[in-house]
Amino acid sequence: MLYRSKAKSSKELDDLRLKFEEIYKRHEVDIVGFWVNAEDENEVYYMSKYENEEHYKSTVEKLRKDEDYIRLGVELKNARTESESKRLIPKWIP
């Protein structure tokens, strides 16, 4: 999954990212990395990796039941001005 968020404040997104990272560790979400747009520090990207479709669905189900994740989701929604996500699948495997 590739996520893009644009926020009112890059500082606020950084603070939320640290909190989300703890939740992701708890649910064993494999975060590939975090990036910032070189021309706009308020626009950030991150990518998560899942073993397969079933792993993705079961992880999302667990996250949706996690009270900390729900609470932080509301904070993130209030901090963002734009967001989108893309489900990517491997085309070439090294």
Domains of the chain, first to last: 2-86 (3.30.70.100)
User: 37-70: per-residue pLDDT in tens?
Assistant: 999 999 999 999 999 999 999 999 999 999 999 9
90 confidence band (pLDDT: 50, 70, 90) = confident
One DSSP character per residue, 44-55 reads: EEEEEE-SSHHH
pLDDT(94) > 80: no
93 confidence band (pLDDT: 50, 70, 90) = confident
Question: Which residues pair with residue 43 across a beta bridge?
Answer: 6
Which three-class secondary structure state does DSSP give residue 21?
Answer: helix
Name the CA radius of gyration of the chain, rounded.
14
